[in-house]
């Protein structure tokens, strides 16, 4: 009986110890749907957000971590669109007057109400004569008369998290306290830092206006020494996602995680598209043939050869994920059998191959792309690819519409010309969309013909003249549908950033600055 009692007591002690170990293990905490564990290589050595030199020193890392969960901006760029967070914003029809209005219900984590004075204090570094002509405070609004494009002004506003004037006015990095520095107005408030364990903990802020939508009670940041260890932690389920401000996964990390069924890779496209194959849509009118050529391309090989670590797979609808108005269209993937089927249905065979001429700009990286594309496309056995190399007369050649297809890079600035979304590059040389000849007339599509506006022209004018976000979303959706149906061009990949997260997470919103982790994402983020 005595031995039996000792055995039972020992077992009870063992159970209690195991429970304690589980409770202290972040890996097990991350399995709880109400706790989000974030892995990072950003080592925080101070909570002083005013001591930010823009590098790894001082409070820079804490400032960036805080801006992802506990600090909010007046306006943020979410999923490609500027949205009001702490403030509503309104823009006059001529785009020259912008009004920021403080929303009701926002409180600082110390209980004080967020006011328009805090926003004014935060934006005091904006420059008169450079960013705005004048500013007026009317009630709970700031009214700016702009001397810079509205999107440029909004970009500067979105880059600044709102600061508590009652705590930080007159403070410097030498006089501010940690207790003052950590106060924000976001969905989570600072709880603790354990430098020995390398963790920072934030807890849900009950007075956040959208607290009911936030599904997490706690966010724990766990610091790792390098990217390799961070990747292993994500693979092993110790963390829910990896976050380093302003950075995505490296190519090695993507390679290590891409085959993991329990890992989700989330890509955020930029507006720059490093290489696009444009069909001359006046010469190549058969969508089946264009699709067959597109399906012959090995996109994985193209990306691994030419793309940066953050590059994202291209979509048939051309608009990349994370760009405003994006709708899900199929990812371009290689399918040689389908390519052969389409070409055969159009009458091509081993003895009657389709002759495909691809214009190449001599002395550029076009030559490297073209060499690989030629090999891949010809593997269908039904296409002969002829590379037409031009030097100083390259632009004149495609502007005249002599090409069958061409390669081009779309810059972020060029992406926004005309109706936006890269449409400048798709147009014919002379078009009513421009006051002058189109210098990048790769796609040769017409906006007007003898019957008036073409189907494509109607879509582009709807995009260009959209007065509301809803109208633009509808028009951009029609644009993507048109591109899919007619295969007017093929992006080989998107320049961008790729993030890694547990497949259990759904509902991410992408912020143009912080990416996968931001205050707005918690309105929709869930862990299954």
Q: What is the pLDDT of residue 479?
A: 98
Q: What is the pLDDT of residue 130?
A: 85
Helix (H, G, I), strand (E, B) or coil at 107: strand
Q: What is the pLDDT of residue 53?
A: 56
Q: What is the pLDDT of residue 54?
A: 47
The token pair that represents 302 in the structure block:
């193209």
Residue-by-residue DSSP string for 166-229:
HHHTT--TTT--HHHHT---SSEEEEEEETTTTEEEEEE-TTSTTGGG---SEEEEEE-SSHHH
CA distance 296 to 337: 9
Q: Which parts of 263-393 fold into alpha helices (H)?
A: 287-295, 299-306, 336-345, 366-378
Q: What is the pLDDT of residue 118?
A: 98
**What is the mean pLDDT of each successive set of 10 residues along the chain, which is 528 residues long?**
52 50 48 88 92 66 96 93 95 90 98 98 94 96 89 87 97 95 98 96 98 98 95 96 88 85 87 93 96 98 86 93 88 98 98 97 93 98 96 88 93 83 88 66 88 94 80 93 98 90 95 91 96
Q: What is the pLDDT of residue 271?
A: 82
CB atoms near residue 434 (< 10 Å):
17
> pTM (2 decimals)?
0.66
Q: What is the pLDDT of residue 213?
A: 97
Closest Cα to residue 181, out of 291, 63, 262? 63
CA distance 16 to 341: 65
Q: What is the pLDDT of residue 4?
A: 54
- Domains of the chain with bracketed CATH: 25-70+186-266+500-527 (3.40.190.10), 75-165 (3.90.76.10), 273-494 (3.10.105.10)
Q: Which residues of 42-70 are buried (b: 16+ CB within 10 A; e: fewer)?
A: bebebbbbbbbeeeeebbbbbbbbbbbbb
Question: Are the beta carbons of 72 and 162 closer than 8 angstroms?
Answer: yes
Q: What is the pLDDT of residue 30?
A: 45
CA distance 306 to 491: 13
CA distance 436 to 481: 28
Using alpha carbons, list the distances in angstroms from residue 501 to 177, 231, 258, 432, 527: 34, 10, 11, 46, 11
Q: What is the pLDDT of residue 29?
A: 47
Strand partners, 489: 278
Q: What is the pLDDT of residue 318?
A: 97
Closest Cα to residue 126, out of 102, 158, 80, 86? 158
């Amino acid at each position: 009986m005595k031995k039996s009692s000792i055995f039972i007591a020992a077992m009870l002690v063992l159970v209690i110890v195991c429970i304690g170990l589980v409770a202290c293990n972040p890996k097990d905490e991350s399995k709880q749907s109400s706790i989000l564990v974030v892995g990072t290589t950003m080592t925080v050595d101070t909570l002083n957000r005013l001591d930010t030199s823009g590098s790894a020193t001082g409070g820079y890392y804490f400032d960036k971590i805080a801006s992802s969960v506990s600090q909010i901006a007046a306006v943020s760029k979410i999923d490609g669109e500027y949205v009001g967070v702490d403030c509503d914003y309104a823009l006059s029809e001529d785009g020259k007057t912008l009004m920021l209005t403080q929303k009701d219900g926002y409180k600082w984590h110390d209980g004080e109400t967020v006011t328009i004075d805090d926003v004014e204090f935060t934006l005091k570094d904006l420059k008169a004569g450079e960013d705005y002509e004048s500013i007026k405070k009317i009630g709970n609004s700031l009214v700016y008369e702009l001397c810079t494009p509205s999107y440029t002004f909004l970009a500067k506003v979105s880059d600044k998290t709102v600061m508590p004037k009652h705590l930080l006015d007159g403070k410097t990095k030498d006089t501010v306290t940690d207790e003052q520095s950590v106060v924000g107005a976001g969905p989570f408030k600072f709880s603790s830092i354990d430098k020995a364990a390398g963790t920072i903990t934030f807890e849900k802020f009950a007075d956040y206006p959208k607290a009911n939508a936030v599904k997490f009670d706690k966010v724990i940041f766990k610091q790792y020494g390098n990217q390799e260890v961070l990747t292993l932690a994500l693979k092993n389920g110790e963390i829910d996602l990896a976050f380093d401000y302003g950075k995505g996964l490296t190519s090695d990390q993507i390679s290590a995680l891409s085959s993991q069924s329990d890992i989700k890779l989330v890509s955020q496209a930029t507006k720059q598209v490093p290489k696009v194959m444009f069909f001359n849509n006046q010469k190549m009118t058969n969508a089946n043939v264009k699709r067959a050529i597109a399906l012959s391309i090995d996109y994985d090989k193209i990306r691994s050869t030419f793309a940066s670590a953050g590059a994202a797979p291209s979509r048939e609808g051309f608009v990349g994920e994370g760009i405003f108005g994006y709708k899900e269209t199929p990812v371009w993937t290689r399918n040689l059998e389908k390519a052969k089927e389409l070409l055969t249905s159009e009458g091509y065979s081993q003895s009657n191959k389709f002759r495909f001429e691809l214009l190449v700009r001599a002395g550029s990286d076009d030559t490297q792309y073209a060499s690989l594309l030629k090999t891949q496309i010809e593997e269908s056995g039904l296409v002969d690819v002829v590379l037409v190399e031009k030097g100083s007369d390259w632009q004149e050649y495609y502007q005249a519409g002599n090409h069958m297809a061409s390669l081009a890079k779309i810059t972020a600035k060029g992406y926004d010309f005309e109706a936006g979304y890269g449409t400048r590059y798709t147009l014919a040389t002379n078009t009513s969309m421009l006051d002058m000849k189109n210098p990048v007339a790769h796609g040769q599509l017409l906006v007007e013909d003898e019957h008036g506006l073409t189907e494509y022209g109607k879509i582009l004018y709807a995009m260009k003249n959209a007065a509301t976000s809803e109208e633009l979303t509808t028009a951009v959706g029609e644009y993507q549908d048109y591109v899919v149906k007619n295969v007017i061009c093929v992006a080989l990949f998107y320049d961008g950033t790729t993030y890694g997260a547990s497949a259990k997470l759904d509902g991410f919103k992408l912020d143009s600055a912080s990416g996968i982790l931001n205050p707005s994402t918690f309105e929709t983020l869930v862990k299954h």
